[in-house]
Chains A and B, each alone.
Chain A
């Protein structure tokens, strides 16, 4: 069992700067948890506190039943993969992999067997006698992964491990890591993962659950689908999903949302779910749910069109708001635009209402 719990975890730096504001996070045994957020949101600091590389100011970190706050990194039964691989430059790949075991006084025969097994899993057998500088980025990353794997840790920590790779390699490593996680889980090995990234694609594709952070606070912890469908606040709504969710300011009255002189009818379900009626509200709708329609719906002025192949991104201006709609290429061809004016209709049941004061989504179902 290796459940990881953060209780009221806090980090204040020497200069008095508070980086992490008492966060609570519960990562289940075998779960792939992704910490995601813009730079400076303290996701890496949080990870480094879990690793023991950064001192904890307050709160506790629990791995399984143990409180590990006071333990050095080597005694926490964790393994970490660093952004720039951090392979020992003077050691061959084999020694790099075995270094942790060597420090733990594991007999040589056992060490060699473990190295061979990990090398087989990660397909790095031909690289074992090379030095790190003779490896390509992808190979080095696999060795770094192997160095984590060989320790059979309770918790794996990844610190933006793919950000130094090119796009294609990143996509394949993403799949590899996910498959590896599934395999470990299937074999009944400890496979709790905390994975830090700033890339929402990585977060959405890899995570069992995602923890979105901002300025040292947790914004929302949920499954990728949940985050996408039911963002808890404006920040999550804007951060997750591409292109970004459209947000338009306005007021609610008579079952409709008024944006300037135009209005969107709010469906009964959404009206029912409204927890409050903020006087300064924002209506949020994903570009994919803002349909290009013939003549009815919201009127907007088309500014630019991005052709993406099977779909088209329409960038338009609506009452001072920059909005985007994703239409199929066929729809765009069929409907067309005249005089730069387009009409957009929100899909019923897909809109969100946010309170502008604190950014909360007030249209979430009460029991999530």
Chain B
């Protein structure tokens, strides 16, 4: 009998222990859910706070000019496309389409030039030994640290003397000669993380330096090159000072300048038009970014992480 009662004791303790463990597990799961919920609420709140100006911008672009100041919410009371229609026509003889075209006329050659020239320069720095390499690379890094404004005036005088004012050349040419030290640096770092065995194999296979670059290095640089192009695209799209300094005729204005144009020329600002055109202006950059996002992140992280 005593044996049986022992066994039942053990069974009771066992069941009690199990119940306790279950309770502990449940508590843990409850806590985890609670903390996750809290985390997401905070993240959502902060995210919304940061995105709110953008959301408001989109909402306000569909409002009438008077409603923008009367209604603080972002949903328009009576949505209208008036801002887009009038804004597109602009107060100049050209439509906004012309300015978009100008923007792309600046961006496309600049991005292509950057990609080609920076790849070549980075390849040379990362893979070849040549006289004064260290000094030259140090100066590239030094340029990185130099504030842009320092070079504005000498550059302006140089391009004025070349007779390039009021043309796209001052915007294209520096980039076509690997003038953007940041991109060179980024590609060099990326290349250094890639072992050079593949390139040596290509050399043994009979490739010269150019063939090695084109067939082997460039494909491996892919993610980094996409990041370079994306950065250059967005920065050029957003660049205001460059076009402002070098372009004087309205028919050559890119969108960044054209937006300012609508502020200047009207006495009472048509805010809804400005906001509508701002929405259109940021759209290409957003589309391109989300399309290339995967490669973009790969490109900027790989340089530092791989080893």
A residues sitting closer than 8 Å to B (CB atoms) are 51-53, 72-75, 78-80, 82, 84, 86-90, 99-100, 103-104, 147, 151
Contacts and interface: CB of A to CB of B under 8 A. Distances in A.
A82 B206 contact: no
A50 to B, nearest CB: 11
A89 B198 contact: yes
A99 B215 contact: yes
A104 B204 CA distance: 12
A74 B219 contact: no
B197 interface: yes
Contact of B207 (A79, A90, A103): A103
A78 to B, nearest CB: 7
B201 interface: yes
Interface of B: 195, 197-198, 200-208, 211, 215-216, 219-220, 222
A98 to B, nearest CB: 10
Given A84-B195, A84-B197, A90 B205 contact: no
A79 B204 contact: yes
Given A82-B197, A84-B197, A99 B202 contact: yes
B220 A74 contact: no
B201 A82 contact: yes
Contacts of B216: 88
B109 to A, nearest CB: 27
Contacts of A100: 205-206
Contact of B205 (A53, A74, A89): A74
B78 to A, nearest CB: 55
Nearest to B200: A53
B203 A103 contact: no
Contacts of A147: 201, 205
Given A82-B197, A84-B195, A84-B197, A90 B219 contact: yes
A143 to B, nearest CB: 11
A75 B198 CA distance: 18
B206 A103 contact: yes
11 contacts: A51-B200, A74-B204, A74-B206, A74-B207, A79-B204, A82-B200, A84-B197, A89-B220, A90-B220, A99-B202, A103-B207
Contacts of B203: 52-53, 72-74
Contacts of B200: 51, 53, 73, 80, 82, 86
B197 A86 contact: yes
Contacts of A51: 200, 204
Given A74-B204, A88-B216, A89-B198, 16 more contacts: A52-B204, A53-B200, A73-B200, A73-B203, A73-B206, A74-B208, A82-B197, A86-B201, A88-B198, A88-B201, A88-B215, A88-B219, A90-B219, A100-B206, A103-B205, A147-B201
A75 B206 contact: yes
Contacts of A90: 219-220, 222
B212 to A, nearest CB: 10
B113 to A, nearest CB: 24
A151 B205 contact: yes
Contacts of A52: 203-204
A108 to B, nearest CB: 16
B214 to A, nearest CB: 11
A74 B200 CA distance: 10
B82 to A, nearest CB: 51
A36 B82 CA distance: 81
Contacts of A104: 206
A39 B203 CA distance: 25
A53 B204 CA distance: 8
Nearest to B216: A88
B201 A80 contact: yes
Contacts of B198: 86-89
A99 B205 contact: yes
B46 to A, nearest CB: 38
A103 B211 contact: yes
A84 B201 CA distance: 11
A73 B207 CA distance: 9
A256 to B, nearest CB: 55
Contacts of B215: 88, 99
A100 B205 CA distance: 5
A89 B206 CA distance: 18
Contacts of B222: 90
A51 B205 CA distance: 11
B152 to A, nearest CB: 41
Contacts of A88: 198, 201-202, 215-216, 219
Which of the listed residues B197, B198, B202, B203 has the most CB atoms from chain A within 10 Å of its own CB?
Answer: B198
A149 to B, nearest CB: 13
B154 to A, nearest CB: 38
A100 B203 CA distance: 9
Nearest to A157: B204
Nearest to A74: B206
A82 B199 CA distance: 11
A201 B25 CA distance: 56
B204 A78 contact: yes
B219 A72 contact: no
Nearest to B197: A86
A69 B163 CA distance: 51
Contacts of A103: 205-207, 211
Closest 9 CB pairs of A and B: A74-B206, A100-B205, A86-B197, A90-B219, A86-B201, A103-B206, A73-B203, A73-B204, A80-B204
Pick from A51, A52, A86, A100 the residue with the most CB of B within 10 Å: A86
B197 to A, nearest CB: 4
A179 B202 CA distance: 27
